Amino acid sequence: MSCQGWKGKIITFARYISTRNKIRCFTNKGYSLMGDTSHSRAQGIYQRIVRSGLLHDSDTAYIFYSRQMLVERLNVLKQAFDSLAILHTVAIKTNPHPAVLSCIVEQGLGLEAASFEEVLLAVSAGAPFNKIVYNSPVKTRKELEYCAHHLPGICINANSIDELERIPSAESLKVGLRINPLVQPSTDMLYNVSREDSKFGVPIFLEEDILKAVFSGRISTIHIHVGSRIETPEILLEALQKTVRLCDKINTELKRAEKPFMLTGINFGGGLSALRNIEASNDLMTQYGKGVREIMINADFRYSLTNEFGQWVHLHNGFAYSRVEYVRSLKEKNIAFLHLGADFFPREIYSPHNALNFEFYTPNGETRSGVQGKTDLAGPLCFNGDYLSKDLEAPALSEGDIVAIPSVGANTFGLWSRHCSRTIPTFFSEKMDNPSEIENISSRFNPFVNLAD
Ligand SMILES: Cc1ncc(COP(=O)(O)O)c(C=O)c1O
């Protein structure tokens, strides 16, 4: 046997020893065993859903979103920034489920809307108007008029100086200007919005233009958001530091000119990534909070803060489950056909930088263990790229088994794709007044197809 062959055997044996008594997790970026707490919860949640009696045969795939875990995340967020004057808002786009939005509002937080439709979702969720931040890069004049007349207190951030001129002059509106602080986040190009050619914000080097805009007297807040999935706080803090310096400079000029207004707020956006492990994610936010506090203490003027995290808040709280519809073998491997694919996981499948993790259960919820060989997990859509994973070392699967995918609460449902017109699955959550019980928070639905159950 070749040296490579022996090495492989030793690694497999070591994995077997180290995983015997632990939950096994399979990832589409290779095998891994994680101490991820949301992962270890997936099986218990599955068993509870089955016991609840709420599943129908038509629920070929379904989502559990833990509002209990959401509340835990929000408490960590509040504690991380506790001595600051701050409005926490959560980016609606990351998970726009109405029950999730209502839960965020009930916890006293606000909502960040990236479209007029999201403004309406925030209003329906009960958000006070002064806790709604409206950030879309494309707002119509009619939508802006609506806000001025019907949503007093809402904060509208202009994406550019050109857009500022479209916002009605109304006392009822709080107006911000998005600037681009031009930092270099080490994140995927898709999520880096701080490049010089970014469509978002006024580049910070256009200081004269920004100053002139603020001198018009309409702007009270400066807004930044430099990118997403940023795994260390340094770049985010650098962006905030540059912004504070600019605001201090502008306020000094306003004071010198004896203007009756000042910049009073800084919205420092979202962007901090959730890490694989919940505890590590919490520590990261706490560390970020400390950095923000230090910058604000050293500012020349006092500013109230706003933030708008998305992925950090939601990632770990979501669990997806799909039935294995059937398995076929092809050459040396098996292909298991599932009911979730690029429709629910567009980011992971169309630009596969993100590992999905899998667990496999029998229909009764027992772990399917062992490694039977290479398996492809195929999604249900009719295009060749629709795989959740290829060549995964997985246990033997058969029709009716369950594939669980933990940590999928962010940028999944909110990006639901209409490709092949498949049906949005049922969502479950804990009951807010009795978390030991599960409830259906939305049944499967299809906007254009009438579903007979
Ligand atoms: C303006 C703005 N704020 C906040 C967010 C949330 O970002 P994240 O999920 O990275 O925290 C986004 C995401 O794209 C955004 O565009």
Mutate to test the pocket of ligand 1, among 308, 315, 316, 415 (most ligand atoms within 8 A of CB): 308
Q: Which residue has the tokens 């707002």?
A: 139
Distance 335 CA to ligand 1 centre (A): 36
pLDDT score, position 80: 98
pLDDT, tens digit, 9 for 90 and up, residues 119-132: 999 999 999 999 99
What mean pLDDT comes out for the span 24-43?
A: 56
| Residue 270 CA to ligand 1 centre (angstroms) | 5
C-alpha 195 – ligand 1 centre gap (Å): 15
pLDDT band, very low/low/confident/very high, at 138 (cuts 50, 70, 90): very high
CA of 309, closest atom in ligand 1: 11
CA 411 to ligand 1: nearest atom: 9
For 45-89, how does the pLDDT look when each residue is reduced to its tens digit (9 = 90+)?
999 999 999 999 999 999 999 999 999 999 999 999 999 999 999
**DSSP E strands: which ranges in 30-71?**
30-32, 61-65
What fold, for 68-315?
Answer: TIM Barrel (3.20.20)
Q: Provide, rounded to the nearest whole percent, the portion of the chain with pLDDT above 90.
A: 84
Residue 344 has pLDDT above 50, yes or no: yes
Closest residue (by CA) to atom 4 of ligand 1? 270
Give me ligand 1 centre to Cα 99, in Å. Answer: 20
Is 188:167 a contact under the CB 8 Å cutoff? Answer: no
Q: Could you say which DSSP state residue 331 is in? A: T
Atom of ligand 1 nearest to the CA of 228: 10
pLDDT, residue 276, reads 84
Atom number in ligand 1 closest to CA 230: 10
Residue ranges of the chain that CATH labels 3.20.20.10: 68-315
For the segment 422-428, the average pLDDT, to the nearest whole number, is 98
Residues 94 and 312: their CA atoms lie apart, in Å, by: 10
Please report which confidence band the pLDDT of residue 1 belongs to, taking 50, 70 and 90 as the band edges: very low
Whole-number Å distance, alpha carbon 269 to ligand 1 midpoint, is 6
Asked if pLDDT for residue 15 goes beyond 60, the answer is no
CA 10–ligand 1 middle distance (angstroms) = 44
- Alpha carbon distances (Å) from 412 to 11, 322, 406: 34, 14, 12
As given in the structure block, the two tokens for residue 358 are 């899998």
Q: How far is the CA of 223 from the centre of ligand 1 (A)?
A: 12
227 alpha carbon – ligand 1 mean position (Å): 7
Distance CA 289, CA 69 (A): 20
Residue identified by tokens 């609606």 is: 92
Region of poorest pLDDT, from 144-148, 252-256, 347-351:
347-351
Cβ-contact 26, 393 below 8 angstroms: yes
Q: pLDDT tens digit string along 144-182?
A: 999 999 999 999 999 999 999 999 999 999 999 999 999
Per-residue pLDDT reduced to its tens digit, 91-104: 999 999 999 999 99
- One-letter amino acid identity for 327? V
pLDDT at 20 over 90: no
Mean pLDDT of 265-289: 96
Encoded tokens for 183: 């930092």
* The pLDDT of residue 302 is above 50: yes
Q: What is the CA(310)–ligand 1 centre distance, in A?
A: 6
| Confidence at residue 28, expressed as pLDDT on a 0 to 100 scale | 56
pLDDT at res. 31: 35
3-state class (DSSP) for residue 116? helix
Q: What's the gap in Å between 189 CA and the centre of ligand 1?
A: 14
Distance between Cα 178 and ligand 1 center (Å): 13
pLDDT score at 144: 98
Distance from C-alpha of 145 to C-alpha of 170, rounded to nearest angstrom: 9
Q: Which SS3 state, helix, strand or coil, does residue 291 take?
A: helix
Ligand 1 pocket test, candidate residues 88, 92, 93, 156, most atoms within 8 A of CB: 93
Atom of ligand 1 nearest to the CA of 94: 9
CB 271 within 8 A of CB 225: yes
Averaged confidence pLDDT in the chain: 91
CATH superfamily of 21-66+316-442: Lyase, Ornithine Decarboxylase; Chain A, domain 1 (2.40.37.10)
Amino acid at 196: E
Answer whether residue 197 shows pLDDT above 90. Answer: no
209: pLDDT strictly greater than 90: yes
Pocket test for ligand 1, best of 191, 228, 285, 312 (most atoms within 8 A of CB): 228
Find the helix or strand (DSSP H, E) in which 307 lies: strand 304-309
On the question of pLDDT at 9 being above 50, the answer is no
Please give the distance, rounded to the nearest whole angstrom, from the Cα atom of residue 267 to the centre of ligand 1.
12
Largest CA distance in the chain: 84
Query: For residue 429, how far is the Cα from the chain centroid?
Result: 18
Q: Is the pLDDT at 37 greater than 90, yes or no?
A: no
For residue 383, give the DSSP letter. S
pLDDT at residue number 17:
29
Report strand pairing: 357-361 vs 25-27. Answer: antiparallel
The token pair that represents 31 in the structure block: 């095998």
- For residue 191, the ligand 1 atom closest to its alpha carbon is 14
Tell the residue nearest (CA) to atom 13 of ligand 1: 228
**194 alpha carbon to ligand 1 midpoint, in Å?**
12
| Phi-psi sector, 107: left (phi>0), alpha (psi -120 to 50), beta | alpha
Q: What would the mean pLDDT of 283-290 be, rounded to a whole number? A: 98
Which residue has a Cα nearest atom 1 of ligand 1? 225
> From the alpha carbon of 312, which atom of ligand 1 is closest?
11
Using CA atoms, how far residue 327 sits from 175, 337, 375, in Å, is 56, 6, 9
| Tally of residues, the chain | 453
Quick check: helix, strand or coil at residue 194? Answer: coil
For residue 122, give the amino acid letter: A
What are the φ/ψ torsions at residue 84 (nearest 5 degrees)? -100, 150
Per-residue pLDDT tens digits for 351-408: 866 689 999 999 999 999 998 899 999 999 999 999 999 999 999 999 999 999 999 9
Question: Pocket of ligand 1, candidates 225, 226, 411: which has the most ligand atoms within 8 Å of its Cβ, to mutate?
Answer: 225
The rounded distance, in Å, linking the Cα atoms of 125 and 333 is 47
Q: How far apart are CA 299 and CA 222, in angstroms?
A: 15
Ligand 1 binding site (Cβ under 6 Å of any ligand atom): 91, 94, 112, 135, 225, 228, 269-271, 308-312
CA 213 to chain centre: 32
pLDDT at 19 over 70: no
Task: Pinpoint the residues of the chain covered by CATH 2.40.37.10.
Answer: 21-66+316-442
d(CA 35, CA 32): 10
Which residue of 94, 139, 198 sits with most ligand 1 atoms within 8 Å of its CB, as the best mutation to test the pocket?
Answer: 94
Q: Which two tokens stand for residue 28?
A: 């589409």
Q: Which run of H or of E encompasses 304?
A: strand 304-309
